[in-house]
Amino acid sequence: MPTSIWRGLLSFGVGAIIWEATARYLDNKLFLVPLGAIFDRFMEMARSGDLAADASVSFIEFIGGFGLAAIVGIGAGIAMSASKRIREFFDPWVSMLYATPTIALGPLFMLALGIGYGSKIALIFLTAVFPILINTVAGLTTTDRVLLEVVRSFGATRMQTYFKVRMPAALPFIIAGLRVAVARALVGVVVAELFGARAGLGFLIFRSAQVFDTAGLWVSVFILAICGVASVEFLKWVEKRMAPWRFQNIEDE
Amino acid sequence: MATKLATRGLGKSFQKDGKAIEALRGLDLDIARGEFVSIVGASGCGKTTFLRLINGLIKPTSGTVTLDGADVSAPGANIAFVFQQDGLFPWRNVLDNTVIGPELQRKDMNEARRTASSFLNLVGLRGFEKHFPHELSGGMKQRVNMARALTAGADVLLMDEPFAALDAQTREIMQAELTRIWRETGKTILFVTHQIDEAVFLSDRVLVFTVRPGRLKEEVTIDLPRPRELTLKRAPQFANYVDHIWQSIEQEVRESIRLETEATLAIAKR
Ligand SMILES: Nc1ncnc2c1ncn2[C@@H]1O[C@H](COP(=O)(O)OP(=O)(O)OP(=O)(O)O)[C@@H](O)[C@H]1O
Ligand SMILES: [Mg+2]
């Protein structure tokens, strides 16, 4: 195994010891509970099937919202990069909505779309779509001029220039956008469920807190954290595989 | 000797901020088939513009470019650019970078890959087909660029300061390599450089351009025996050619520095 993984594990190990020590010293079962207790609670919830039910609800919301954001973000990005006029028309909206904490619109979505999947997917979509859209546009409109001149000098058509230069050059940008969007979408899942839900990992946090089940709350937080880290790391890995030249200097150190 | 490439009254002006910048004026040139011609001149005198006109990347404001007697109106397969090292696609391996010409012209790709392999061989890159540009040295990247232009099937190669970014030793090695490749392929080559010794070493003929608008100031036929070895650079005749060309453009370079300083001062005053 590479040393970076060992260091990561060591770091987690130290963190776990500090956690354990603090939990025992504080002895405040409402805030920090020992890791063992969290694990026991996890097994209990897993056996009863509650956890699977909550996780699958959140999973469906996440896939729906994030998937839609990816399709719309990349699609609209391609459209906006194709024409300067379209871009200039939509740019102010994109910039404004990207800067707005759209999560604040959550309650509005509950009112309009109800307490089911629709409102959750809409909110997750809205938090995740802009990084994807913005990166797609940036990737497609900042193509290296030299490379464009190269294909032109070999007599490339507009279509060929698009598919053989602009698209491949934009791919690493798009993946980076997806990476940012995954993290935002996970926050979206939790917040959307806090505003009102019948099930889900975010709702589980809310429900556990109400009945002072701190261990149950931490189970949910840990699962979300693991999902977040895993998907971000996965996209980083994809990015590195697809565009190794962008990481070369950092790796060489 | 048969004329491969000819320009008549070739001129180019650019529009910038409503003002016309005349980059080139009235160039009448004949390049023979298989000739190696270098172009030297002060920075900004229109050398790159000249190559881009010949390739058909930009259209002349006046005059014509003909290849084998036919007008060049758009980039085609007969004339290929050799770009500086940043002209390779980072996401394509060496072989896929090399076949881009035939690929864009929708030629048979199996044949193109065979051609590319043989040219990669010629430039000394056998075994590097699957490497990516970021894994290559600057000199190797330039070899890929040459193999790519050759694979495109061009008879005329346009090279715009191809070795400018290389260190001194690598540059000398590449000069020797280019002479060899030129001899083995019989291509017609137009080569732009700021290094006068490079121009003399490589060329049959060196064209000296005036400052902007670029015109032909002088052409120097290099009467040195071939094949040439790098040791030729220490021969007295070689030094004579270099001195002569240097004196010819010195005046022009001074002039261009004066013009640039004036322009900078004018901007600073505003
Ligand atoms: N697309 C363009 N638009 C406007 N002006 C241009 C354009 N291309 C070139 N020029 C101008 O034309 C002149 C000649 O440029 P060119 O690049 O051909 O010079 P050069 O001889 O290649 O210079 P260098 O030795 O520095 O590479 C310059 O003054 C440049 O500013
Ligand atoms: Mg130039």
Taking an 8 Å cut-off on Cβ atoms, the answer to whether A149 and B83 are in contact is yes
CB A133 within 8 A of CB A76: yes
Distances in Å between the alpha carbon of A29 and those of A25, B9, B79? 11, 90, 78
Range A53-252: architecture per CATH: Orthogonal Bundle (1.10)
Query: Shortest CB distance from B104 goes to which of A160, A168, A243?
Result: A160
Chain segment A161-174, per-residue pLDDT in tens = 999 999 999 999 99
Chain segment A198-252, per-residue pLDDT in tens = 889 999 999 999 998 999 999 999 999 999 999 999 999 998 888 888 876 555 4
Which residues of B fall within a CB distance of 8 Å from A170? none
Calculate how close chain A gets to B193, using CA atoms only, in Å. Answer: 18
Taking an 8 Å cut-off on Cβ atoms, the answer to whether B134 and A160 are in contact is no
Chain segment B191-214, per-residue pLDDT in tens = 999 999 999 999 999 999 998 889
Chain segment B122-168, per-residue pLDDT in tens = 889 999 999 999 999 999 999 999 999 999 999 999 999 999 989 99
Q: What percentage of chain B reaches a pLDDT higher than 70? A: 99
What per-residue confidence (pLDDT) applies to A250? Answer: 53
Residue A24, token pair as written in the block = 């025992």
Three-state secondary structure call for residue B25: strand
Which residues of A fall within a CB distance of 8 Å from B81? 149-150, 153
Q: Residue B98 pLDDT more than 60?
A: yes
Pick the closest to residue B191 from B48, B28, B27, B46 (CA basis): B48
Q: Which domains does chain B have, with CATH numbers?
A: 3-78+154-269 (3.40.50.300)
Which residue type occupies B130? K
Pick the closest to residue A238 from A251, A225, A247, A250 (CA basis): A247
Which residue type occupies B176? A
Q: How far apart are CA A198 and CA A207, in angstroms?
A: 10
Angle at the Cα of B223 from the Cα atoms of B175 and B186, rounded to 5 degrees: 50
Chain segment A92-114, per-residue pLDDT in tens = 999 888 888 888 888 888 888 88
What per-residue confidence (pLDDT) applies to A253? Answer: 43
Residue ranges of domains in chain A: 53-252
Query: Mean pLDDT across the stretch B23-40?
Result: 95
**Cβ of residue B211 lying under 6 Å from some atom of ligand 1:** no
Taking an 8 Å cut-off on Cβ atoms, the answer to whether B133 and A245 are in contact is yes
Taking an 8 Å cut-off on Cβ atoms, the answer to whether A146 and B83 are in contact is yes
Calculate how close chain B gets to A151, using CA atoms only, in Å. Answer: 8
Q: How far apart are CA A170 and CA A137, in angstroms?
A: 8
